[in-house]
Structure 1
Amino acid sequence: MTHDAELEHTLTGQQNVKVTDEQLINWIKSRRSIGNLNIPAPTHKQVRAAIACAMTAPDHKKLQPWRFIVTEGNARHRLGKALLAAAEDKALEDGTTLSDQVRQKTYNLPLRAPMIITVTTKMQAHEKVPEFEQLLSAGAAVQNLILALKAQGFSTVWRTGLLANEPAVKAYFNVNEDDYIVAFVYTGSSPCDFPKRDPIDTDELLRFEE
């Protein structure tokens, strides 16, 4: 994009919203994780639009090494049972016992938002695309997904947690042993304003070589 050129972007769910490059960059920088999420959640049409954006992530050899599962309504309770089973299995391995409070908290984890979009890998053997590239592509897809949901007026928080890749949770989502659950994208609406981000200092993390 040329500097300060006016472009058409969809940033609020409305078509043909003209913004400058600087406005677009500042909008991306305003992204924040919001944990207090309520209804309404995105419609299926809005989810499909966000997934289409996720699928534009850099993808060497076009392997599409990611999958998306949308959990809403009563399915959140079934996910809660899977997380609880994973926690119980893990406690058994560690020789410990879960308290009733921890059991209830674990079961309730998926109820913190009206919708959860789970992103998993779908690794494929390819001599030119190592596993780490495919994993990074999945992470890039998550970021695109989050920004596309933000553009449609929704708040999100990217969660994983210690139970995400336990066997019981992988089995629930039909994820292969060698694949990963890389994100639970909790999605919904928030009554809170996006908190302002402190100024971003890139100096310590960046160098230019000529």
Structure 2
Amino acid sequence: MTEIIETQNTDNIDNLSAEQLISWINSRRSVSNLTEPAPSHENIRAAIGCAATAPDHKQLKPWRFIVTEGDARHAFGRALLAAAEATADRDGETLSEKEQQKTANLPLRAPVIITVVTKMEAHKKVPPFEQMLSAGAAVQNLILALKAQGFSSIWRTGLLCNEPAVKEYFEVGADDYVVGFIYTGSSPRDKSARKPVDIEPLTRFEL
């Protein structure tokens, strides 16, 4: 069974200097090889508390978090397989047995998956794109909060994430979206250093 967690604020006091905090954020990496130990429910609730501090115009809370672990990952895998088979059928194709098994086993790549979905509402001052961006900001906060607690993660989506079978599994409405599967756990190997990003071509100052 999946568990839908309602958001709650979590106050954290960080003793890092501004320079240390910026360096720490710059060290974030996506890690695909994830194993036990997994974040506990307490760790996950703390991370979701941080996710819930994302910019949120009019405080609509246009996001929800669904935690999948243990045997529930197999049920998630079956939903992905149903989506893949429907997509293949639509394209006049058939999945091989190997492709079926690979798709069904996708959720087994981490001990815990936190699925972030939108829960948007009509509001004259908050268009849908703002609510979608808020969900993306919540994902980034979630990932950083998991990192702060010593866990690695990777933000996955893929072509199947908003197929009907997957949206139905997570009870996502027709006008809402799955914005990310956050695979999380521990990494058995050291993460390589991130290469510095040249921000000059990406930035413009207007004086």
Percent of aligned positions that are identical: 68
Q: Equivalents in 2 of 1:89, 1:201: separation in Å?
A: 42
Q: For residue 25 of structure 1, what is the aligned residue in structure 2?
A: 22
Q: For residue 152 of structure 1, what is the aligned residue in structure 2?
A: 149
Structure 1 moving runs of 4+ over 4 Å? none
The unaligned stretches of length 5 or more in structure 1 are 1-14
Structure with the greater alpha carbon radius of gyration: 1
Deviation readout 1:56-100 (Å, 9 max, x if unpaired): 000000000000000000000000000000000111111100001
Q: 1:138 aligns with which of 132, 135, 139?
A: 135
Write the mapping of 1:117-128 to structure 2, written as runs, cut at 5 A.
Answer: 117-128=114-125
- Where 1:120 maps in the other structure, the secondary structure is strand
Q: For residue 92 of structure 1, what is the aligned residue in structure 2?
A: 89
Q: Equivalents in 1 of 2:113, 2:178: separation in Å?
A: 13
How far off its partner does 1:16 sit?
Answer: 6.2
The answer to whether structure 1 residue 57 and structure 2 residue 90 are counterparts is no
Q: TM-score, structure 1 length as denominator?
A: 0.92
Q: 2:202 aligns with which of 199, 202, 205?
A: 205
| CA RMSD between the two structures | 1.0
Q: Which amino acid aligns with 1:23?
A: Q
Q: Which amino acid aligns with 1:64?
A: K
Q: Which amino acid aligns with 2:116?
A: V
Q: TM-score, structure 2 length as denominator?
A: 0.93
The answer to whether structure 1 residue 180 and structure 2 residue 177 are counterparts is yes
Q: For residue 106 of structure 1, what is the aligned residue in structure 2?
A: 103
Q: Equivalents in 2 of 1:202, 1:126: separation in Å?
A: 35
How far off its partner does 1:200 sit?
Answer: 1.8
Q: For residue 167 of structure 1, what is the aligned residue in structure 2?
A: 164
The unaligned stretches of length 5 or more in structure 2 are 1-11
